[in-house]
Amino acid sequence: MTSTASPLFLPYHRLARLRPEAARWWRPLLVVIVAAVIALVLFAIVLVGGLLVSLVPGVPDPSPELDDPRNPMDTALGLATLAVMTPAVLWAYRFVGGRRGAAAGSLHSVAGRFRWSLALRAAAVVIPVFAVVNGASVVFSGASFDVPQQRGAVVAILLIVVVAVPLQCAAEEYVFRALPMQVCGIWLRSPLWGILLPVPLFVLGHEYDVWGQVDIAVFAVAMGLLAWKTGGIELPIVVHTANNLTLFLMSPFAPATVAQGAVDPRMLLISIPITVLTTLGLWAWVSRREGIGFLTPVRGAGRSEAARVPAGAVLHSMNG
């Protein structure tokens, strides 16, 4: 029986401490800087590529603000410029994060990989729920629906949305949940630092009024808590995708679904409860699935792997 801490029993926000070289105080700062540089390079590549594509006859020019939901180029570039943040963060950790071996995939989850089975099972329930709720919200809000005359553009937008929205949502979750949680987790024990500190940045990244920003802040906190509880970034990505995907799929027919700005405060009576209830539902499901307490985070890949770890390792890692 050994007293060496097992990586299977570190909570998600402390996974950077799997290896001493990854837990050096300056390492997170280097990761953030490198990720920002890579993101800027990829952002420029996407914009230049988009401009070149728009030169092809028949392809519409992007608008200056990339905010026309009925313009395929606006949709593609708007989503792609955000989606590039995922490879930026992952490559930064790969190049300068000091993570090797069992820690290589720890930005995804405590299992050291992206848990596709967990994500797909959750998506099968969460996406239909958000489709119904968001659809009903748009109808009750009085938004006008109509079918654009350019059917080809609509088909292109829908295809772009199905492919790019999950990537855009994943990028925001890696940047605003995974990265700050594991950066703060090197220096601080409590997961709340990594959950709460990035909330203002996430809020400022949206152009809503005060009511809309309250909604965004609640969502950000809920997704941070869900990442901590579930031991990974998969379920926050699923919830984020379920919300954005259903709204973007309606945007060619009802542009108001993705418009930012003033928000009717009455809509928060729908959006905040669905965020909270979805989070609690997934929280309870994961607790039951993993056989852990309601306030206990997932550590490791689950009960099957936990059973193979020496008991002494459990006690040691829970204290560190």
- Among 93-102, 109-118, 264-273, name the one with the lowest average pLDDT: 93-102
Interacting residues of 123 by C-beta distance below 8 A, sequence separation 6+: 238, 241, 242
Range of the domain at 196: 7-318
Please, what is the average pLDDT of the chain?
Answer: 87
Q: In whole angstroms, what is the distance from residue 54 CA to residue 46 CA? A: 12
Residue 306 confidence (pLDDT)? 35
Residue 102 confidence (pLDDT)? 56
Q: Identify whether 54 is part of a domain.
A: yes
Tokens of residue 119, six digits: 């994500």
> Is the per-residue pLDDT at 305 higher than 70?
no
Total structural domains in the chain?
1
More confident residue, 64 or 136: 136
> Is the per-residue pLDDT at 114 higher than 70?
yes
pLDDT band, very low/low/confident/very high, at 177 (cuts 50, 70, 90): very high
CA 300 remoteness from chain centre: 20
Residue 266 confidence (pLDDT)? 87
- Condensed to tens digits (0 to 9), the pLDDT of residues 44-88 reads 999 999 989 989 988 888 888 888 888 999 999 999 999 999 999
Interacting residues of 150 by C-beta distance below 8 A, sequence separation 6+: 70
pLDDT band, very low/low/confident/very high, at 291 (cuts 50, 70, 90): very high
Tokens of residue 6, six digits: 């097992």
Q: Identify whether 2 is part of a domain.
A: no
Phi, psi of 240 (to 5 degrees): -60, -45
Q: Identify whether 187 is part of a domain.
A: yes
pLDDT band, very low/low/confident/very high, at 218 (cuts 50, 70, 90): very high
Q: Identify whether 169 is part of a domain.
A: yes
Nearest to 1 by CA among 314, 318, 317: 314
Tokens of residue 62, six digits: 């992007």
- Among 49-53, 117-121, 122-126, name the one with the lowest average pLDDT: 49-53
Q: In whole angstroms, what is the distance from residue 246 CA to residue 311 CA? A: 46
Residue 94 confidence (pLDDT)? 87
What is the DSSP-derived secondary structure letter of residue 149? S
Q: Identify whether 299 is part of a domain.
A: yes
Q: In whole angstroms, what is the distance from residue 147 CA to residue 159 CA? A: 16
Give the relative orientation of helices 151-173 and 85-96 as an angle to the nearest 10 degrees: 30
- Condensed to tens digits (0 to 9), the pLDDT of residues 138-172 reads 888 777 777 777 788 899 999 999 999 999 999 99
Amino acid present at 133: V
Q: Identify whether 244 is part of a domain.
A: yes
Give the relative orientation of helices 210-230 and 234-250 as an angle to the nearest 10 degrees: 140
Q: Identify whether 15 is part of a domain.
A: yes
Q: In whole angstroms, what is the distance from residue 126 CA to residue 274 CA? A: 10
Query: Residue 193: helix, strand or coil by DSSP?
Result: helix
Report the percent of the chain where pLDDT is more than 90.
Answer: 61
Residue 105 confidence (pLDDT)? 87
Q: Identify whether 102 is part of a domain.
A: yes
Task: Name the region of 260 (left: φ>0; alpha: ψ -120 to 50; beta: rest).
Answer: beta
pTM of the model: 0.88
Nearest to 156 by CA among 60, 259, 46: 60
